[in-house]
Structure 1
Amino acid sequence: MELSCKCEYAILALLEIAAHYESGEPLQIREIATQQNIPDRYLEQLLATLKRGGIVKSQRGSKGGYLLTREPRKIILFEILECLEGQEVRACQEDLNFKKVESSLIEEIWQEASHAANLVLQKYTLQDLCEKINSRRQLDIIYYI
């Protein structure tokens, strides 16, 4: 399994928004794009998708921008990826009676791996990632001193 660029950019953008959650101030696309080095137009599309998925909301006006719809600790990674990628892609939908044994076995193993990955993604929230980032930054500061 591989994390797509789309998902990576979306998670980076959401981490940036989550870092400002407590202030209640919306972040503009240009701010997020600059901080996370994401192309503006692509970020705009990603945020529109996340908005349709109920993960972010937008606020209009000169001080407008994007906010999380709920606390970072209540947004799980699986929900984000599902919003962006949709339901997991299934292998051939042929009748199992006509499939080769090898193909059926590969599909079963892929489904097992996908299920395991989904369990891990359901375990972590945006808040968990924010805390891990802060911990690593603290270690970097201590290491460089």
Structure 2
Amino acid sequence: MNISMKSRYAVRALTELARLEQAQTGRPVRLGEIAERRDMPLQFLEQVFAALRRGGIVRSRRGAAGGYALARPADEITVLDVVAALDGVPSPAECTQGRCDKVETCGASSVWIDAQRALEEVLTATTIGDLLRREDERRRSAPMYHI
């Protein structure tokens, strides 16, 4: 039950999008800017953001002043929303998705179901806004080395 690289990149990129939207007072943000600031491959981000747009996480505007913007406030976009838009809801085993005919008699199914609930709880409780604040706090408390 790994969270895909697409989802992990999406969470990082959306955090940067939220940061840039704050700094640029709502102006759409070019993917190239996010790719450069987060050291991510632009072509991969284009695929990720196309899926995020289809999932209603971001909106896009074409043209010279175009780019991407969050479809709703960063504090309303959960990490589960992002992962689900790209990969579906993460699941540790088939029995959590109702695809196992042994779920009624299997002793392990309750473990997988509990793990599913715990993961969903954490991903639902964490928003892109939360991650942005965590990053800001870590940056403020990180040691600064000047040459």
Q: TM-score under structure 1 normalisation?
A: 0.86
Partner of 1:42: 44
Alignment partners' CA distance in 1, 2:90 and 2:51: 17
> Equivalent residues in 2 for 1:95-106 (5 A)?
95-96=101-102, 104-106=106-108
> Equivalent residues in 2 for 1:1-145 (5 A)?
1-22=1-22, 23-89=25-91, 90-91=93-94, 93-96=99-102, 104-141=106-143
Q: Is the 8 A contact 2:21 2:29 kept in 1?
A: no
User: What's the RMSD between the two structures over aligned residues?
Assistant: 2.1
SS of residue paired to 1:105: coil
Alignment partners' CA distance in 1, 2:107 and 2:41: 41
1:37 Cα deviation from its structure 2 partner:
1.5
Specify which structure has the higher proportion of helix: 1
Q: Is the 8 A contact 1:21 1:71 kept in 2?
A: no
Alignment partners' CA distance in 1, 2:83 and 2:100: 27
Q: TM-score under structure 2 normalisation?
A: 0.85
1:131–1:94 Cα change, 3 Å: closer
1:53 Cα deviation from its structure 2 partner:
0.6
Alignment partners' CA distance in 2, 1:35 and 1:105: 47
1:95 Cα deviation from its structure 2 partner:
2.3
User: What code does the residue aligned with 2:30 have?
Assistant: Q
